[in-house]
């Protein structure tokens, strides 16, 4: 059986690993990134460079995007030079960016008019999940299209759920980000408390990381906090973007999200202090009065 040709837009912290897994699985990959140098390692492995997203759309059976902001998604998909206008009928377009549920619906509608299939499939797991192919993938869209794309998703993650119609993946990711936001504050406060109390934070982690307080952030990001490692697995600036989308969506539904609102204000303070390109674990520096 001939495998579909896959295009991939966004070969950053997570995208590079994701493309690598697809190539290992035997897929032919065409890649595009605003900065070609960031894709060089993949090109050296045999991926083909696309000069434009329009070129990619015309040549690939499936195109995956994981870019920065909703405006980047809109520019990638819509317009005369976008994916939808240049894709062949039957092409599957999968946006894995954390973006707006309303935008996902807009893309889906535009795809229908062109005979192009669109899924929203944001992910969770950060750089670790991407490297280990253990991402949680939250999908919105038609069931038949989901089933077509499932073998591709299985190369990237191990928790893949069709949440519902288009936009449901993005709404699910908002639930994920809301939970993370409050949890990150708790992890930072716990580690700051341990230090101020004169405890060995590493020993504290041994005791609490597998108990009722267990979480991904506690197990994977607290050690980075304690080591002073602020390298991005997920950028502060992108987390702020996600929280903004979640707050706007909650307001539309008349839902209070006080924990999320507080977390967003702290992360905005962190970004203003020069950490917008740091990983989300850099919030710990704010609690410890560091710069």
Q: Active-site residue among 173, 195, 196, 269?
A: 173
Told to judge if 196 belongs to the known catalytic residues of this protein, a careful annotator would answer no
What is the per-residue pLDDT across 1-54, written as a single tens digit (0 to 9) for each?
A: 689 999 999 998 899 999 999 999 999 999 999 889 989 999 999 999 999 999
Helical axes 70-77 vs 101-114, angle rounded to 10°: 0
Angle in degrees, CA 171, 271, 234, rounded to 5: 50
Same structural domain, 105 and 181:
no
Q: Which of 106, 141, 165 is the last residue of a domain?
A: 165
Our measurement of the distance from residue 287's CA atom to the centroid of its chain's CA atoms, rounded to an integer in Å, reads: 26
Same structural domain, 33 and 138:
yes
257 within domain boundaries = yes
Same structural domain, 91 and 222:
no
Same structural domain, 156 and 132:
yes
Q: Which of 104, 135, 165 is the last residue of a domain?
A: 165
Same structural domain, 147 and 223:
no
**pLDDT on residue 291:** 56
What is the per-residue pLDDT across 166-183, written as a single tens digit (0 to 9) for each?
A: 999 999 999 999 999 999
Reduce the secondary structure of 35-96 to three states and give it as a string.
CHHHHHHHHHHCCEECCCHHHHHHHCCEEEECCCCHHHHHHHHCCCCCHHHHCCCCCEEEEC
23 within domain boundaries = yes
Q: Which of 165, 188, 205 is the last residue of a domain?
A: 165
Angle in degrees, CA 192, 256, 271, rounded to 5: 45
Residue 202 has pLDDT above 60, yes or no: yes
Token output for 41: 């390692």
Same structural domain, 16 and 135:
yes
Domain that holds residue 233: 171-287
């Amino acid at each position: 059986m001939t495998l579909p040709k896959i295009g991939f837009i966004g070969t950053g912290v997570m995208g590079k690993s994701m493309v690598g897994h697809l190539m290992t699985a035997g897929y032919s990959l065409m890649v595009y990134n605003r900065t070609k140098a960031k894709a060089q390692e993949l090109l050296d492995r045999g991926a083909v460079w696309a000069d434009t997203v329009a070129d990619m759309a015309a040549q690939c059976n499936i195109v995956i995007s994981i870019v920065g902001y909703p405006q980047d998604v809109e520019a990638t998909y819509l317009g005369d030079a976008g994916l939808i206008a240049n894709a062949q009928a039957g092409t599957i377009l999968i946006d894995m960016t954390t973006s707006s549920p309303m935008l996902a619906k807009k893309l889906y509608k535009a795809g229908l008019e062109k005979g192009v299939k669109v899924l929203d499939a944001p992910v969770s797991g950060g750089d670790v999940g991407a490297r280990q192919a253990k991402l949680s993938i939250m999908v919105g869209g038609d069931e038949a299209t989901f089933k077509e794309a499932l073998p591709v998703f299985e190369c990237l993650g191990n928790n893949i759920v069709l949440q519902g119609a288009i936009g449901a993946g993005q709404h699910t990711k908002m639930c994920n980000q809301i939970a993370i936001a409050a949890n990150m504050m708790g992890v930072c406060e716990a580690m700051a408390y341990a230090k101020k109390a004169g405890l060995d934070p590493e020993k504290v982690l041994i005791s609490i990381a597998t108990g009722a307080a267990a979480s991904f952030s506690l197990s994977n990001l607290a050690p980075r906090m304690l080591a002073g490692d602020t390298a991005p697995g997920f950028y502060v600036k992108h987390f702020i973007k996600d929280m903004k989308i979640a707050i706007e969506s909650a307001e539309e539904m008349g839902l209070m999200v006080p924990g999320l609102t507080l977390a967003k204000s702290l992360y905005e303070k962190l970004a203003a202090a020069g950490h917008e390109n740091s990983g989300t674990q850099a919030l710990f520096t704010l609690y410890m009065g560091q710069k």
